[in-house]
Structure 1
Amino acid sequence: MNYIKAFAPATVANVACGFDIFGFAIQEPGDVVEVRRIDKPGIVIKEITGDDGRLPRAAEKNAVTVVMLHLLKHLGITDLGCEVTLHKNMPLGSGMGSSAASAVAGVVAINELLGNPLTRGELLRFAMEGERIASGSAHADNVGPSLLGGFVVIRSYTPLDIFSIPVPDDLYCTLVHPDIEINTKDARYILRNEVSLKNTIAQMGNVAGLVAGLMKADYDLISRSMVDVIIEPVRSILIPEFNEVKKAAINNGALGCSISGSGPSIFALSRGMENARKAGEAMKQTFADAGIDSTLHLSGINQGGATVLERE
């Protein structure tokens, strides 16, 4: 094949109590990557749209292409030439897995171009290198669900052990992105290195409760477990109106509400699309009352992950 066009969806990471171990994919938005063979060996970024010129154009410094370079090195391929076009369809620093979507779309596209020598599971560690270049940490809670779809759990990073769990069919995500930006590196920097035993125990209980609630379709248990006593109290300081927006979501039918990734996007989970929509409108209105524009996304859990849109 000479041309591949791939899509990778946005994601919600952490999911309240599951810092760096939980993540799920939504239907849209997402990034689109086009890869076309050229005669001259090497990876070249031809064009990036939607980033206002902010992303690096050097292949070794951009999440979309660094994953390709790692994959080609692993396979021992030195004579392949490709030009890459990246379409950014979500804001940078949004807390929606923007860099992860670029990395995943890139690694899926190059793998498809090569005839799929690696499985989706094998591509994960290469996609994580895109996160390393973008945020300084090769975490998998965004790239995992964007690549594989569904609700994923990262049980271990050393060795990497990731699996998915079933979720209720009637579970919907509300994702609201306020028109502000938070740098992922900054959001990680402010986190505490030490956590009290009391908070650790509480968080572990909520993690176990959320997994059980999702697998049993126990909406009350899901609601009780969507509590983050470690990360949210620190990161929420960076998000204007966070407490008010969260309260608006809960008061309008959401099961729970927290920060999506490192923020500033805020997500809620609800039973049924109507509750998700009602919660989202209330969240958006709360931001508007504070003079902050925001964008609303409503979605079920995306079970498919990244997809190939076109091939030639």
Structure 2
Amino acid sequence: MREVTAFAPATVANVSCGFDILGFAIDSLGDKVKVKLTEGSALKVVEIQGDEGKLPFESEKNTCSVAIQAMLDQMDLHVGMEISLYKGLPLGSGMGSSAASAAAALVAANEVLGKPFSKEDLVPFAMEAERIACGAAHADNVAPSILGGFVLIRGYDPLDVIKLPVPDGLHCTLLHPHLELKTSDSRSVLKQQISLKDATMQSGNIAGLIAGLYKSDFPLIGRSLKDVIAEPSRALLIPGFYELREAIKNVGALGSGISGSGPTIFILSSNESIATKAGEVSRKVFDEIGLGVDVYVSKVNVKGAFIL
């Protein structure tokens, strides 16, 4: 096929205690990318919709073309492609917007080239797009966007990506408050050193969360959704964060946290009904402080990026 369109889902990175090492994918929300083979050897971004004119068309700056170029370089292949990006995710939202664009572009390009790479093989190429987007080639958004489900990034040298099980019924409520929070600002407030006590507590929570996923133990998942490293500093940048946390306890949600660097907040629940109620009470919290919010309720997406 000379023309293919792919969809890649939004993602939640960090997942509270899993700072920079855990992520999971969301259903329905995401980006679409169309890739068309052309004559010559140039990658051209020819169309971008849904970005309010903010994203670059230059091939060396756009995450779609950067990711595809990394793949072509690995193959030592020189082909021409036209790339059309359809943004379904807001920029700077903490929902893995740049990762979804790169993931969709790679899956589409891989398809038009006859699938020379597995989905797992595409992750390092998408990481190069993240380097362009935010200055660091991290995988906690791109890996779940490509592969789906919960993903653990155990290490980077060499890259060690591990898919984790998703318990039946697990749902996510995403809350995107109408405020802009730059990744650089979220990074700047982080402590550069942590105590042995906090490191031990964080390790226990990470282990507990992963064990909870494997055992389908929802109470254990809930007890483990605690971040003592990044969240105490970042929560101060998101109005209503702690009021929301108290409100969702009353409807039975497992817990909440900051998605990526924010301002989006994620809530995990054991079923769709509780996830919906968590969204309703959260909206009331933001209404009371006069801040608009978008609310999404979704299963954890175990499929990842796919061809449309």
2:146 is aligned with 1:147: yes
Secondary structure of 1:61's match?
coil
Corresponding residue of 1:58: 58
Alpha-carbon distance in 1 for matches of 2:28, 2:20: 22
Say if 1:250 and 1:257, in contact at 8 Å, map to a contact too: no
Alpha-carbon distance in 1 for matches of 2:106, 2:58: 17
Corresponding residue of 2:89: 90
Tell me how far 1:39 sits from its aligned partner: 1.9
2:39 is aligned with 1:7: no
Tell me how far 1:305 sits from its aligned partner: 0.1
2:216 is aligned with 1:223: no
TM alignment of 1:94-173, pairs within 5 A: 94-173=93-172
Q: 2:180 is aligned with what amino acid?
A: E
Say if 1:104 and 1:143, in contact at 8 Å, map to a contact too: yes
TM-score with structure 1 setting the length: 0.97
Alpha-carbon distance in 2 for matches of 1:40, 1:62: 20
Alpha-carbon distance in 1 for matches of 2:302, 2:125: 21
2:37 is aligned with 1:45: no
Q: Deviations over 1:256-282 (max 9, x none)?
A: 011011100001101110000000111
Q: Deviations over 1:201-239 (max 9, x none)?
A: 000000011111111111111111100000100111111
Q: Deviations over 1:170-195 (max 9, x none)?
A: 11101110111212233223222211
Corresponding residue of 1:212: 211
Corresponding residue of 1:29: 29
Q: 1:40 is aligned with what amino acid?
A: G
Corresponding residue of 2:251: 252
Alpha-carbon distance in 2 for matches of 1:84, 1:213: 41
Alpha-carbon distance in 1 for matches of 2:157, 2:235: 29
Alpha-carbon distance in 2 for matches of 1:285, 1:87: 31
Secondary structure of 2:253's match?
coil
TM alignment of 1:178-197, pairs within 5 A: 178-197=177-196
Alpha-carbon distance in 1 for matches of 2:267, 2:83: 35
Which runs of at least 4 in structure 1 moved beyond 6 Å after TM superposition?
A: none
Q: 2:181 is aligned with what amino acid?
A: I
CA-atom RMSD in angstroms: 1.0
Corresponding residue of 2:67: 67
Alpha-carbon distance in 1 for matches of 2:168, 2:58: 42
Task: List runs of 5+ in structure 2 lacking aligned partners.
Answer: none
Task: List runs of 5+ in structure 1 lacking aligned partners.
Answer: none
Alpha-carbon distance in 2 for matches of 1:71, 1:84: 15
Alpha-carbon distance in 1 for matches of 2:106, 2:192: 32
TM-score with structure 2 setting the length: 0.98
Alpha-carbon distance in 2 for matches of 1:269, 1:202: 21
What's the % identity of the aligned pairs?
53
Secondary structure of 1:279's match?
helix
Give the length in aligned residue pairs: 308
Q: 2:36 is aligned with what amino acid?
A: R
Say if 1:92 and 1:181, in contact at 8 Å, map to a contact too: no
Tell me how far 1:139 sits from its aligned partner: 0.9
Alpha-carbon distance in 2 for matches of 1:94, 1:141: 15
Q: 1:244 is aligned with what amino acid?
A: E
Q: Deviations over 1:98-139 (max 9, x none)?
A: 010001011111111111111111111001111111011111
Alpha-carbon distance in 2 for matches of 1:147, 1:233: 30
Alpha-carbon distance in 2 for matches of 1:192, 1:218: 32
Alpha-carbon distance in 2 for matches of 1:230, 1:305: 29
